[in-house]
């Protein structure tokens, strides 16, 4: 039902078991690195405590294994989507520990995030409590699943005229109101106006969003996370 999400060029896609083999720098008085595998294990255990199971998960690492990105799908699903959790960890001081929530669309394996690691973002300070940080984030993600479903249903019933869609495409790729690679514009337009899947033939905001997220799958992990996180804010200007 799902396909590989993280296709990398500059980095490497690895399995969960391989995270243990990645290097973790020494701690300093101001910076506390978090081993990638410990972060992932904390998430899995926090989900299990709430009787939520990980269905699939995948990871990618960059910069000699110091940065890690991942996506987990869990067994919370409805209206053709499954809850997804995005994670990131940077042991090179490039970014904070983070979680975000989103959903995976069954019929095409597209992924959409609600925002830029909104449930929890914590610096690698020496006082960080990994278990508490993760637990707080999972609680927030779980509470937002129902509102996420309502958003999907609203998008599925939000009809767009062809003129509206063309204006939004121009805003995104000509006026550059959406921070995504310009070369994706042609692919997004084709996916929306000439959809291959029956589910996306209706001219709706749902089909429009999936035209974007489908195109994002060709990006490397970091640009893909950034693009999927930026899309909801852009679409919010038109509904």
What is the rounded average pLDDT for all residues in the chain?
A: 87
The better pLDDT of the pair 12, 182 is held by 182
CA–CA dist 32, 25 (Å, integer): 9
Q: Using DSSP bridges, classify how beta strands 81-90 and 67-78 pair: parallel, antiparallel or unpaired.
A: antiparallel
pLDDT tens digits, residue range 81-118?
999 998 989 999 888 888 888 898 877 778 887 654 45
Could you tell me the pLDDT band of residue 130, with boundaries at 50, 70 and 90? Answer: very high
Token pair for 223: 């640009």
The better pLDDT of the pair 62, 209 is held by 209
CA–CA dist 201, 204 (Å, integer): 8
E strands, the chain, in order: 12-14, 54-62, 67-78, 81-90, 97-105, 111-113, 120-122
Helix then strand count (H, E) for the chain reads: 7, 7
Handedness of CA 215, 220, 223, 228 (dihedral sign): positive
- Angle at CA of residue 88, ends 82 and 90, nearest 5°: 175
Q: What is the pLDDT of residue 114?
A: 63
Contact assessment for residue 66 and residue 23, using Cβ atoms and an 8 Å cutoff:
yes
CA–CA dist 87, 72 (Å, integer): 8
pLDDT tens digits, residue range 29-61?
889 999 999 999 999 999 999 999 999 998 988
């Amino acid at each position: 039902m799902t396909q590989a999400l993280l296709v990398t060029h500059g980095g490497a896609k690895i399995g969960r078991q391989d995270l243990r083999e990645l290097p973790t720098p020494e701690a300093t008085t101001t910076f506390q690195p978090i081993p990638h595998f410990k972060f992932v294990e904390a998430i899995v255990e926090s989900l299990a405590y709430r009787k939520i199971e990980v269905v699939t998960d995948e990871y990618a690492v960059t910069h000699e294994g110091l940065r890690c990105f991942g996506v987990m799908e869990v067994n919370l699903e409805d209206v053709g989507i499954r809850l997804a959790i995005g994670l990131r960890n940077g042991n090179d001081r490039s970014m904070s520990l983070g979680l975000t929530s989103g959903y995976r669309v069954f019929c095409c394996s597209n992924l959409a995030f609600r925002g830029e690691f909104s449930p929890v973002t914590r610096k690698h300070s020496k006082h960080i409590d990994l278990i508490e940080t993760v637990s707080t984030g999972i609680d927030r993600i779980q509470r937002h699943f129902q509102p996420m479903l309502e958003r999907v249903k609203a998008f599925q019933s939000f009809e767009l005229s062809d003129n509206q869609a063309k204006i939004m495409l121009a805003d995104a790729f000509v006026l550059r109101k959406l921070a995504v690679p310009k070369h994706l514009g042609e692919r997004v337009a084709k996916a929306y106006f000439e959809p291959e899947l029956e589910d996306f033939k209706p001219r709706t905001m749902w089909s429009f969003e999936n035209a974007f997220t489908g195109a994002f799958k060709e990006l490397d992990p970091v640009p893909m996370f950034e693009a999927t996180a930026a899309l909801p804010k852009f679409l919010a200007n038109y509904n």
